[in-house]
Amino acid sequence: DAGITQSPRHKVTETGTPVTLRCHQTENHRYMYWYRQDPGHGLRLIHYSYGVKDTDKGEVSDGYSVSRSKTEDFLLTLESATSSQTSVYFCAISDRGHNEQFFGPGTRLTVL
């Protein structure tokens, strides 16, 4: 497996609370991504980063923010979690500009 870890692996929280998910890589890859995976929708891109402090929106970015202060860490924050954000979140990395991406193990988030 590529050196990607995600934390926490599971989280249950309540509507309205802030949540931060962390992705950590040891591959020194330039690109990092956050996806969510829901039944019937496949993987959908939330945000991505093309370098330290360089981020951009994906197709489902509303309600999410990201930060990347170091090459190895990419944080996804839900400022005020809603039940519609219950999902499995995957981080991915790439060193070839949106080409082959390598995925982390995922975080299962439940918002009650």
Partner 1 sequence: EDQVTQSPEALRLQEGESSSLNCSYTVSGLRGLFWYRQDPGKGPEFLFTLYSAGEEKEKERLKATLTKKESFLHITAPKPEDSATYLCAVQLISWGKLQFGAGTQVVVTP
Binding residues for partner 1, rule: CB under 8 A, are: 4, 33, 40-45, 48, 58-59, 90, 92, 97-106
Quote the least distance from Cβ 32 to partner 1, whole Å. 12
For the record, the structure tokens of 94 come out as 């790439």
Query: Which DSSP category does 54 fall into?
Result: E
- Cα–Cα distance, 94 to 32 (Å, whole number): 6
Q: Which of 57, 27, 53 is nearest to 44 (CA)?
A: 57
For partner 1, the closer of residues 62 and 97 by Cβ is 97
CB of 112 to partner 1, least distance (A): 21
Q: What is the smallest separation between the CB atom of 79 and partner 1, expressed in angstroms?
A: 23
Query: How far does CA 70 lie from the centroid of its chain?
Result: 15
Nearer to partner 1, 14 or 66 (CB): 66
CB closer to partner 1, 38 vs 79: 38
CA neighbor of 67 nearest in space, from 51, 84, 90: 51
